Structure 1
Amino acid sequence: MNSEPERRRTVYVLLPAYNEEVALKALLPDLYHATDMIGARVHVIVVNDGSSDGTANADDWAPPHQRVEVISHEQNRGLAAALTTGIERVLTLSQGPDDLMVCLDADNTHPPETIPRMVARAWDGHDVVIASRYRPGSVQRGVPAFRRFLSRGARVLFRLLLPIPGVRDFTCGFRAYRVSALREIWRRTGGKVITSQGFACTDELLLKIAMITGKITEVPFTLRYDQKPGESKLQLWLTIRSQLRVIGRLRQMRREGLPQEVQRDRS
């Protein structure tokens, strides 16, 4: 039987989604079974980013006891906007000091069975737990050569220019965040948690949290790109340019430091 503190914990699972109807129909049941005995309430938030398929109906496909909330953008606004919408919702809902937000891709390439290990490491005292492609035991299945090139190149750049102790994978978006760390970033930036566009927004979020905490760790996982039902939404050269810009901007931010005082109230 779970203890009273465990029952008060909530794990928010954030799924930014654009035209992921096929993937979500497979992912949601797997997610339910992987997190059913996690020792906390689980609240799934699907941010439907202007999809033209049935993604907006994701709550209809959930298992009977799975709590799924769908938030829809009327138009496609990109990953940064979807992630921001999800974070805002989590910050509004969260009340417990041990609450977590787990973010993973909605295309069924990030296996939900990794989540219990991530959550356990977070509750061991870490503010961010990264599912890393570069830890012993990690496997990448079906990943195209250009994506391997991009992720390895980004890894080299970040380790040279913006190193974070203990971090090998800077660009994988499959992460568990302590909500209190996200709230502190919100407070210090006046709500401007993410200012980058495209896939570089996850780099920015990680580096901002690294500026206020050293409690970041990684776990190995199996990237199942072979299970992706559609084409990649990543634009190679746009992503490279965006990452280079965000590295330059965040190097300056790291030198200056984040503000200590509240910039503006969330209300």
Structure 2
Amino acid sequence: MNPTTSLTGRVHVILPAYNEADSLPGLLRRFAELDTAHPELQLRVLVINDGSADATAEVASQTYGQLDVTLHNHERNMGLGQAMLTGLQRTVANLEAGDVIVAMDADDTHDVNLIPIMAERLSRGADVAIASRFVSGGCDRTAPPFRRLLSRGAAVVFRTIFPLESIGDFTSGYRMYRGSLMQNAVRHWGNRLIEEDGFACMVELLLKLRFWGPTLSEVPMVLRYDRKLSVSKLKLMRTLRQYLQLAIRNAVTPTPREIRYASC
């Protein structure tokens, strides 16, 4: 059975990219193959070139089969958080009923073939599907030890403070969101939807979405760090500090009154 038969809208993919000229061609070719195999997904790919110093913009401007690829350039590097915010705001402005939004890394470490599975989860009632390294069938053994330790440590801390339906992978950058949920979030938070400029922005986004009481679901993901061709942008101590500050700030932040009883 085709897992995407219940999906009524388009799949918008946001790829924040900083110096990913080596990784993007392979990733976009995989998307082109997915687009051919699953035309019902109606894939739309938005590459946010975050002030890259390499040929990221040129690579993203090439043709990849019939894949619909749009490029947006930041004149300077603004960080993952701002790249994500730009992508979400531009995508939300073009949503139609039933559309969904996928955010994923542009370094080719995420499997595009999880998208039909994530779409199936949303068709069954989930509002956010998270590609998780920490559920049965998931794995991140090809990642460097320090990254694995950081991800697991952050998961323990945030799962303890914010028990969001027992979600295990808070820091995963690969997620699918129901379009209407993200419309509500962008409308309410505006430019404050994402204020962190580094990797902590993915945790921040999940925490801010919790005020709408979304149904969350995790899909097993095998992280393919062995395919990563670009230099890692993760700064260990900076990211750790951001995670701790984010946990403290959100723990003492009351639920915004105007959305306390809202739903997506």
Counterpart of 2:87 in structure 1 is 86
What TM-score do the two structures reach when normalised by structure 2? Answer: 0.91
73-82 or 184-193, which deviates more: 184-193
Deviation at 1:164, TM superposition (A): 0.9
Does structure 2 retain, via aligned residues, the 8 Å contact 1:32–1:66? yes
What is residue 56 of structure 1 aligned with on the other side? 57
Q: Is residue 2:181 matched to residue 1:186?
A: no
Maintained 8 Å contact 1:143/1:225: yes
When the two structures are aligned, how many residues end up with a matched partner? 255
Are the aligned partners of 1:15 and 1:104 in contact in 2 as well (CA < 8 Å)? yes
CA displacement at 1:8 relative to structure 2: 5.9
* Paired residue type of 1:148: R
- 1:38 deviation in Å? 5.4
Partner of 1:265: none
Letter in 2 for 1:94: L
Could you tell me how far apart the structure 1 residues matched to 2:34 and 2:42 are?
A: 13
Aligned-residue offset at 1:185: 1.2
**Match of 2:258, as an amino acid?**
Q
- 2: CA distance, partners of 1:122 / 1:209: 16
| Residue correspondence of structure 1 range 1-267 to structure 2 within 5 A | 9-36=9-36, 37=38, 39-96=40-97, 98-253=98-253, 256-260=254-258
Aligned residues of 2:15 and 2:106 also touching (Cα < 8 A): yes
TM-superposed CA distance for 1:140, in Å, is 1.9
Task: State the secondary structure of the residue aligned to 1:118.
Answer: helix
Q: 1:7/1:121 Cα in 2 relative to 1: closer, same or farther (>3 Å)?
A: closer
Unpaired stretches in structure 2, ≥5 consecutive residues = 260-264
CA distance in 1, matches of 2:93, 2:158: 32
What code does the residue aligned with 1:69 have? T
Letter in 1 for 2:11: V
TM value normalised by structure 1: 0.90
Determine if contact 2:7/2:119 at 8 Å carries over to the other structure. Answer: no
Separation in 2, partners of 1:179, 1:252: 28
Aligned CA distance change for structure 1 residues 252 and 38 (closer, same or farther; 3 Å): farther
> How much does 1:223 deviate?
0.2
Q: CA deviation at 1:75?
A: 0.4
Alpha-carbon distance in 1 for matches of 2:75, 2:169: 33
- Between the two proteins, what is the percent identity of the paired residues? 39
**Contact 1:139-1:221 within 8 A present in 2 as well:** yes
Q: Distance in 2 between matches of 1:210 and 1:38?
A: 32
In structure 1, list runs of 5 or more residues that go unmatched.
262-267
Partner SS for 1:51: coil
| Higher deviation after alignment, 115-124 or 99-108 | 115-124
CA deviations on 1:148-201 (whole Å, 9 max, x unpaired) are 110011011011112211301000110001111111112222442111221111
CA distance in 1, matches of 2:13, 2:189: 23
Letter in 1 for 2:240: I
2: CA distance between counterparts of 1:138 and 1:30? 20
Distance change (3 Å), C-alpha of 1:140 and 1:184 = same
1:93 alignment partner, SS class = coil
- What is the letter of the counterpart of residue 75 of structure 2? E
